[in-house]
Amino acid sequence: MQHFNHVNNLNLPLLNQINTDTGRFYETIEGEKFPSITTVLSLYNQKYITEWKSRVGEEYANKIASQAAKRGTILHENVEHYLSNRTVPFVSFRQQELFNSIQPLLDDINNIHCLEQRLFSRHLKVAGTVDCIAEHENRLSVIDFKTSSKTKEKSNIENYFMQCSAYAIMYEEMTGIPIQKIVIIIAVEDDIPQIFIEKRDNFVKSLLYYRNLYREEKNV
């Protein structure tokens, strides 16, 4: 089993997570409240999701979304255990198969700064929980783990890159440590995994567009 080194020299402030009918928010100990970056970026594919639900029906769409959310949650738990040097608690062969597909990609990660860490930015006025900040092939990166029922085209997942760009900005604001590299690892059911490597600054403009759009629509 791979052993991952953890860099435990951070003392980041605690954030309280608040789930509402209109999305997820995070609150600082000073009482500042920020929308989650995933809530903000839900505007990115809102039209597509609305059209898809109209085509397949609300009940079926909710069932598929629930299955995808459960699949993603379990994979995140498995990855967190593995990167924390703990035994991965598989509960089904299907889940183990999905994790095994990305394990070689996980082994390119080391010197982990944080896992499932809540971050926020007063500049962006957003917050969120980053999957992983660590060195990927010896370069500090924001690393995000996704699951999918089919392979993704880069052109269709700009929200993933914007999300990680936001985490990079949050982390630099909170620690003074800059991160330019973004890594997206996708475990694909019944197919080989995908990995996308991008540069943070390529997506900041789009990120700011959606953050401002959310602010205008929700007055937050």
Residue 120 falls inside a structural domain: yes
**CATH number for position 134:** 3.90.320
Number of compact structural domains in the chain: 1
- 24, pLDDT greater than 80: yes
Domain range for 39 is 16-218
Residue 172 falls inside a structural domain: yes
Residue 3 falls inside a structural domain: no
Residue 4 falls inside a structural domain: no
62-71, 81-90, 209-218: which range is least confident on average? 62-71
pLDDT of residue 125: 94
pLDDT of residue 59: 74
pLDDT of residue 22: 79
Residue 203 falls inside a structural domain: yes
Higher pLDDT pick, 8 / 192: 192
Higher pLDDT pick, 178 / 51: 178
Are 131 and 219 a contacting pair, CB within 8 Å? no
Residue 2 falls inside a structural domain: no
Residue 66 falls inside a structural domain: yes
pLDDT average, residue stretch 184-212: 96
The pLDDT tens digits for 27-64 are 998 999 999 999 999 887 765 555 555 666 767 656 76
Are 118 and 34 a contacting pair, CB within 8 Å? no
pLDDT of residue 138: 93
Residue 6 falls inside a structural domain: no
The pLDDT tens digits for 112-150 are 999 999 999 999 999 999 999 999 999 999 999 999 999
pLDDT average, residue stretch 64-92: 87
What is the pTM (predicted TM-score) of this model? 0.91
Nearest partner of 120 among 29, 218, 3, 217, judged by Cα: 29
Which residues fall within 8 angstroms of residue 102, CB to CB, at 6 or more apart? 79, 145, 185, 187, 193
- 79, pLDDT greater than 90: yes
Q: What percentage of the chain exceeds 90 in pLDDT?
A: 70
Are 171 and 133 a contacting pair, CB within 8 Å? yes
Nearest partner of 171 among 217, 145, 134, judged by Cα: 134
pLDDT of residue 168: 98
- 68, pLDDT greater than 80: no
pLDDT-based confidence at 205, cuts 50/70/90? Answer: very high
pLDDT of residue 40: 93
pLDDT of residue 55: 66
